Amino acid sequence: MITETRLVQFDSLELDCGETLHGLQVAYETYGRLNEEKNNAVLILHAFTGDAHAAGIDHEGKTGWWDNMIGPGKGFDTNRYFVICSNVLGGCRGTTGPSSMDPRTGRRYGLRFPVITISDMVRLQKKLIDHLGIPRLLAVAGGSMGGMQALEWAVAYPEAVEACIPIAATARHSAQQIAFNETGRQAIMMDPDFQNGDYPDDKPPARGLAVARMIGHITYMSDESMREKFGRRLRNREAFSFGFDIDFEVESYLRYRGQQFVGRFDANSYLYITKAMDYFDLTLGYPSLAASLERATARFLVISFTSDWLYPSYQSLEIVNALRSRNHDVTYCELTSNYGHDAFLVDIAEQTEVMRGFLDRCQRDFRRPQP
Amino acid sequence: MKVRDVLGRGDYALISELIPEGARVLDLGCGDGALLAWLRENKRIEGRGIEVKPELAQRAASRGVPVYQGDLESSLSEYPEGAFDIVILSQTLQELRRPLEVVEQMLRIGKHAIVAFPNFGHWRVRLHHLLSGRAPRTALFPHSWHSSPNIHFLTVLDFEETVQEKGWRVESRLFLSGHAQIRFAPNWRAEIAVYLLRR
């Protein structure tokens, strides 16, 4: 399946910070077909560094980031469902973000880009869904930051969401999660090449961005998966170097991943998107999480993973218990996996089974949108 | 098709008869969700389940049953009062650490509670114990003493006494031997006792 990223323009978007963005662009892909009843549309929401290319193979031969979940006969079966995925606001993969041109100045936004939130991202996605002529989505689904967007969708647009699937997600970042994000941001901003966000294309703060990504990668794995994958194996050598070259396999892996990341991700986007995650708090403006989720009419499928220490199961349980306290329709599974936070991307056999049954029921019980 | 032909469990057949069309039902220890899925198809109930074993909870979820994977003894307090028409506890009472607190919770969150349990007073159990001098092992209690999930052994008489003490109201009591319903001497003859309680 060769896929194509499409672009759509919007005039303006009001932001939580009080500013308004003008001349926005959204990059998105779709898979499968929207049926006549318009009850088979699934919006996939990507995690931190993801993009619109969720499934299939693009013109460069790159496979989508959730291709194992989306496609004919897969968890999100494109024979049945019309699947949409867009790059988030603040991103650097086609949707307006800090690396875009500011139409007022003709220059790149850089740090003049306004600080955005998860609900700003969702508000822009809603414009896309309206543009596609879909009154009510069968499901909003995503892992990690994608799960936060899914939750925000269910609370902000209850009439437009039949089912909400937050995976390895949280209703608000913990101190630990904020701490990791801040460490990444500091690594970027302390790089002399950062230039207060006005770095040229060919000279980004590569060292800072690579270190930020190395830290990120550690948090996405688990102690066990790292032991299995690397152990204490040495890289291309029989003995220690007694220096600070690469000795261990794990060092080599992290450096490689860090460098690779610099080629595909913008340092300013890193700052803005991590900040949006840290600001996210579904309880803001409500006395409790249960009170906030009470707005939602969607059925929920909440999934967490046993070895995920970055978004631990207690955070999913917080969501689930808030829903149960209102006797909301919620399914909760803690899936067994050694892969840590990455599990939702790589360890998908059980996730697929659970997803299938849930989506199947939600489509059968699809409630028509009120005119 | 009869429910027992589908599910192969006599107590399920009785339970499904006790549940009215369209009821809100919570099944505690719902296993793979077979009962809830059957009730949804045949009685259009709105069902929820709780199951602690991950594989079983995932099987229930993949049937589209809204299951909560977790320990039922610590998770009932989350539900609001009167959230369900009927709360089912089928053959799990004898495995709980605090069975009475669970039944009290069931009567708080449900208008009715169905409690089904294996009767330790069945004559075969008594005979096995008397003749062998060992912890009873019958078709109903097949486990060895060290591997049994059962930690409380109760009889129909024991449960009747508890009902009296607690002041629970019994709407109906049904007794089963295999798939046959027992009308007299249930404490001798019933393998499974099914109680419909209300607040």
**pLDDT tier at B14 (50, 70, 90 boundaries)?**
confident
Point out the residue among A325, A329, A333 whose CB comes nearest to the CB of B69.
Answer: A333
Q: Would an 8 Å CB–CB cutoff place B138 in contact with chain A?
A: no
Instruction: Please provide the average confidence, as pLDDT, over all residues in chain A.
Output: 97
The C-alpha R_g of chain A, in whole angstroms, comes to: 20
**pLDDT digits over A200-228, tens only?**
999 999 999 999 999 999 999 999 999 99
Taking an 8 Å cut-off on Cβ atoms, the answer to whether B54 and A321 are in contact is no
Instruction: Please provide the average confidence, as pLDDT, over all residues in chain B.
Output: 92
Q: What is the pLDDT of residue B43?
A: 94
Q: What is the pLDDT of residue A327?
A: 94
Residue A88 distance to chain B (closest CA, Å) = 30
Give the whole-angstrom CA distance, residue B12 versus residue B43: 14
The residues pairing with B175 across neighbouring beta strands, listed in sequence order, are B193
Asked if residue B1 has pLDDT above 50, the reply is no
The residues pairing with B49 across neighbouring beta strands, listed in sequence order, are B27, B67
Q: Cβ contacts (< 8 Å) between B58 and chain A: which residues?
A: 333, 335, 350, 353-354
Q: What is the pLDDT of residue B15?
A: 84
Taking an 8 Å cut-off on Cβ atoms, the answer to whether A335 and B70 are in contact is no
- Residue B6 CA, distance from chain mean position: 18
> How many residues does the structure list for chain B?
199
- Record the tokens describing residue A85, joined without a space: 């995925």
CATH of region A178-275: 1.10.1740.110
Question: Which one of A331, A351, A363 would you mutate to disrupt binding with B, by most B Cβ within 10 Å of its Cβ?
Answer: A331
Contact between residue B21 and residue B44 where contact means Cβ atoms under 8 Å apart: yes
Asked if residue B6 has pLDDT above 70, the reply is no
- Of B179, B197, B187, which is closest to residue B14 (Cα–Cα)? B179
Residue B61 distance to chain A (closest CA, Å) = 5
Taking an 8 Å cut-off on Cβ atoms, the answer to whether A336 and B54 are in contact is yes
Q: What is the pLDDT of residue A299?
A: 98
Q: Which residues of A are catalytic?
A: 144, 308, 341
Size of interface A-B (CB pairs under 8 A): 59
Q: Would an 8 Å CB–CB cutoff place B78 in contact with chain A?
A: yes
- Residue B165 CA, distance from chain mean position: 20
**pLDDT digits over A84-130, tens only?**
999 999 999 999 999 999 999 999 999 999 999 999 999 999 999 99
Question: Which residue did the predictor score with more confidence, B11 or B187?
Answer: B187
**pLDDT tier at B2 (50, 70, 90 boundaries)?**
very low
Most confident of A134-143, B90-99, B190-199: A134-143
- The pLDDT of B54-63, averaged and rounded, is 97
Q: What is the pLDDT of residue B13?
A: 78
Q: Cβ contacts (< 8 Å) between A350 and chain B: which residues?
A: 58
Taking an 8 Å cut-off on Cβ atoms, the answer to whether A326 and B66 are in contact is no
Q: Would an 8 Å CB–CB cutoff place B22 in contact with chain A?
A: no
Residue B27 distance to chain A (closest CA, Å) = 13
Q: What is the pTM of this model?
A: 0.95
Q: What is the pLDDT of residue A62?
A: 96
Q: What is the pLDDT of residue A371?
A: 62
Contact between residue A8 and residue A56 where contact means Cβ atoms under 8 Å apart: no
Q: What is the pLDDT of residue B180?
A: 87
Taking an 8 Å cut-off on Cβ atoms, the answer to whether A354 and B70 are in contact is no
Q: What are phi and psi of A206, to 5 degrees?
A: -65, -40
Residue A338 distance to chain B (closest CA, Å) = 15
Asked if residue B4 has pLDDT above 70, the reply is no
Q: Would an 8 Å CB–CB cutoff place A366 in contact with chain B?
A: no
Q: What is the pLDDT of residue A368?
A: 85
Q: Would an 8 Å CB–CB cutoff place B111 in contact with chain A?
A: no
Fold classification of A6-173+280-364 is Rossmann fold (3.40.50)
Give the whole-angstrom CA distance, residue A193 versus residue A216: 21
Taking an 8 Å cut-off on Cβ atoms, the answer to whether B54 and A327 are in contact is no
Q: What is the pLDDT of residue B83?
A: 97
Residue A329 distance to chain B (closest CA, Å) = 7
Distances (CA, A) of A336 to A241, A305, A307, B64, B199: 38, 6, 8, 19, 39
Q: What is the pLDDT of residue B78?
A: 95
Assigned superfamily of B3-120+153-198: Vaccinia Virus protein VP39 (3.40.50.150)
Asked if residue B3 has pLDDT above 60, the reply is no
Q: What is the pLDDT of residue B9?
A: 67
pLDDT < 70: residue spans in chain A: 370-371
Three-state SS at A342? helix
Asked if residue B178 has pLDDT above 90, the reply is no
Chain A contacts in chain B segment 31-60 (CB below 8 A): 46, 48, 54, 57-58
ipTM of the complex: 0.93
Contact between residue A351 and residue A24 where contact means Cβ atoms under 8 Å apart: no
Q: What is the pLDDT of residue B140?
A: 83
Point out the residue among B46, B57, B64 whose CB comes nearest to the CB of A360.
Answer: B64
CATH 1.10.1740.110 intervals, chain A: 178-275
